[in-house]
Amino acid sequence: MSDDLIHAPLAFADLGLSPALVQVTDDAGFTDPTPVQREAIPAALSGRDVLALASTGSGKTLAYVLPILQQVEAAFQRAQSGDAQSARAPRQAALHAPKPERRPTRALILVPTRELALQVGEALSDMSAHLQAPLRWGCVFGGVSINTQMLGLRGGADVVVATPGRLLDLIEHNALSLDGVQTLVLDEADRLLDKGFEDELNRVLALLPKRRQHLLLSATFAPGVEALAQQLLHDAVRIDQRAEAISVPDIQQRAIVVDAPQRTPLLRHLIAQEGWRQVLVFVATRYACNLVAHKLQKAGIQAAAFHADASQGARREVLRAFKAGELQVVVATDLAARGIDIAQLPAVVNHDLPRSPDDHIHRIGRTARAGHSGVAVSFVSADTEAHFRLIEKRQGLRVPREQVAGFEPTQVAPTTAPSPTDPDGTGGVKGKRKSKKDKLREAHGKMTPS
């Protein structure tokens, strides 16, 4: 909880939002702001930097979209006032006035995935539909034609939502300039600091004006996020609601002990027994994604795979069909752990456990969103028991182990010896394995006589 905002307002009207935006939130059915919105919106509107740490489904997107829209609307009104004064100037001066330039980009929202970019773009579209300011915004990402996106940005955009790589491509094509950016948002900041994004993020930061507002948002707080916050933020309002989010009872976590070969048959059994109308199933690899989806289809279940090898059009169609209820099951890699928002999704299943506890939080956060309840089921085999205990430890909770009749495990978890898949005894948690240098040092120490 932030020390700067102790007396948090309880309604959108109390957050400093314009009457138009308050009406938009009311029309959208958002009666009360979430805790992160209560703290982040007033801080962002006042021009403060913000670091917000909150779980998936906590309303982080609107926490920055609404302030950005209000800032754009205010700039539009100032421009309108300036135009009215110019209209009273002599006609001759107006004839020699320069032609209007491309509309500057005032806010840049960086995200790690196409799916999250589309989700943010949808929020911008919904929240700006009835504003006085004619908002122009762009949503750009890789995997689709850059020419179409260049045409869409012709004339400029007030707000741009982008993945870093495609943003840099557009800048190199002179389709976009960052000279006018006043607000930078890093959504899922921890993912933007992964090795695949870090270099691109640094290149983008180097192109931005030195004076700007920063809004950093994430569900997890990796060490890199703290380092980035120290680098970018000035006198920031820090909001940390991760502890509260973990204890929210709306996500019922279950851990079912099962032998690895029986996971897919158990999944089919649970879908029928629990009557899940929709379920998002997470697996570790693209191959497993296709395989599990195929087995479900052969069993008569409407299922589809969702992974990075699929085209953007195919992935978009899978999400459309899933949201429309045409698909009962989507089998996905961790690509879907961030940025996919399915209203009232009742269940998430970890067919394969996530590699890191942070990914576990993102996965289970796909259910129990916007005040609804949901269940998150993890399949735990003998080989992954130690790994799941580490996930529990990071969450600060213990999930009782269950067995399902007809799927009782026959394998026993090792007690002391490391498993073949986890020789270092880390449970497979990212960042806990010994580095090559550590292993070389150990080997050198063993070879050196005492």
Query: Do 341 and 232 fall into the same domain?
Result: no
pLDDT mean across residues, the chain: 82
Query: Do 203 and 142 fall into the same domain?
Result: yes
Distance from the Cα of residue 30 to its chain's centroid: 20
Q: Is the pLDDT of residue 181 over 90?
A: yes
pLDDT of residue 203: 94
Locus of tokens 């880390």: 426
pLDDT of residue 100: 47
Q: How many CB atoms lie within 10 A of CB 42?
A: 21
Tell me the pLDDT tens digit for each residue of 285-324. Answer: 889 999 999 999 999 999 999 887 777 678 888 888 998 8
Angle at 197 between CA 193 and CA 200, to 5 degrees: 115
Tell me the pLDDT tens digit for each residue of 212-270. Answer: 999 999 877 777 788 888 889 998 999 987 755 444 447 889 999 999 999 999 999 99
162: Cβ contacts below 8 Å, ≥ 6 apart: 108, 109, 110, 111, 117, 138, 139, 140, 141, 170
Domain total of the chain: 2
Tell me the pLDDT tens digit for each residue of 266-279. Answer: 999 999 999 999 99
Considering the domain boundaries, does residue 421 fall inside one? Answer: no
What stretches of 219-328 adopt beta strand conformation (E)?
237-240, 251-257, 279-282, 303-306
Compare 105 and 441 and report the one with higher pLDDT.
Answer: 105
What is the rounded end-to-end Cα distance, in angstroms, of the chain?
54
Considering the domain boundaries, does residue 450 fall inside one? Answer: no
Cross-sheet strand order for the sheet of 303-306: 303-306, 329-332, 279-282, 347-350, 374-380, 251-257, 401-402
| Contact yes or no for 378/399 (Cβ under 8 A) | yes
Q: Which of 326, 213, 328, 207 is nearest to 268 (CA)?
A: 328
* Boundary of a domain, candidates 193, 213, 244: 244
Residue 95 buriedness (CB in 10 A; 0-12 / 13-18 / 19+):
exposed
Q: Is the pLDDT of residue 139 over 80?
A: yes
* Boundary of a domain, candidates 211, 244, 277: 244
Query: Do 234 and 282 fall into the same domain?
Result: no
Query: Do 228 and 343 fall into the same domain?
Result: no
**DSSP classification of residue 405:** T
Query: Do 217 and 263 fall into the same domain?
Result: no
Considering the domain boundaries, does residue 1 fall inside one? Answer: no
Q: What DSSP line would sit under 35-66, residue for residue? A: HHHHHHHHHHHTT--EEEE--TTSSHHHHHHH
Distance CA 395, CA 253 (A): 11
Phi/psi of residue 44, nearest 5 degrees:
-65, -40
Considering the domain boundaries, does residue 94 fall inside one? Answer: no
The token pair at 47 is: 């021009």
Q: Percentage of the chain with pLDDT > 70?
A: 78
Distance CA 390, CA 397 (A): 10
Query: Do 229 and 252 fall into the same domain?
Result: no
Phi/psi of residue 60, nearest 5 degrees:
-65, -35
Tell me the pLDDT tens digit for each residue of 31-85. Answer: 788 889 999 999 999 999 999 988 766 788 999 999 999 998 887 777 766 655 5
Tell me the pLDDT tens digit for each residue of 113-126. Answer: 888 898 899 889 88
Angle at 112 between CA 107 and CA 116, to 5 degrees: 75
The token pair at 363 is: 């996965």
Q: Which of 346, 335, 361 is nearest to 53 (CA)?
A: 361
Phi/psi of residue 391, nearest 5 degrees:
-60, -45
Distance CA 92, CA 247 (A): 68
Phi/psi of residue 185, nearest 5 degrees:
-110, 130
Considering the domain boundaries, does residue 343 fall inside one? Answer: yes
Considering the domain boundaries, does residue 257 fall inside one? Answer: yes
Distance CA 263, CA 257 (A): 9
Considering the domain boundaries, does residue 383 fall inside one? Answer: yes
Tell me if residue 185 falls in helix, strand or coil.
strand
Query: Do 131 and 40 fall into the same domain?
Result: yes
Query: Do 237 and 126 fall into the same domain?
Result: yes
CATH number, residue 388: 3.40.50.300
Angle at 139 between CA 207 and CA 108, to 5 degrees: 35
* Boundary of a domain, candidates 213, 228, 244: 244
Q: What is the CA radius of gyration of the chain?
A: 25
Residue 87 buriedness (CB in 10 A; 0-12 / 13-18 / 19+):
exposed
Average pLDDT on 341-361 reads 86
Query: Do 258 and 344 fall into the same domain?
Result: yes
Considering the domain boundaries, does residue 423 fall inside one? Answer: no
| Contact yes or no for 49/233 (Cβ under 8 A) | yes
**DSSP classification of residue 103:** B
Query: Do 277 and 214 fall into the same domain?
Result: no
Write out the residue range of the structural domain in which residue 335 sits: 248-402
Query: Do 258 and 182 fall into the same domain?
Result: no
Q: Which of 283, 430, 292 is nearest to 348 (CA)?
A: 283
Query: Do 216 and 283 fall into the same domain?
Result: no
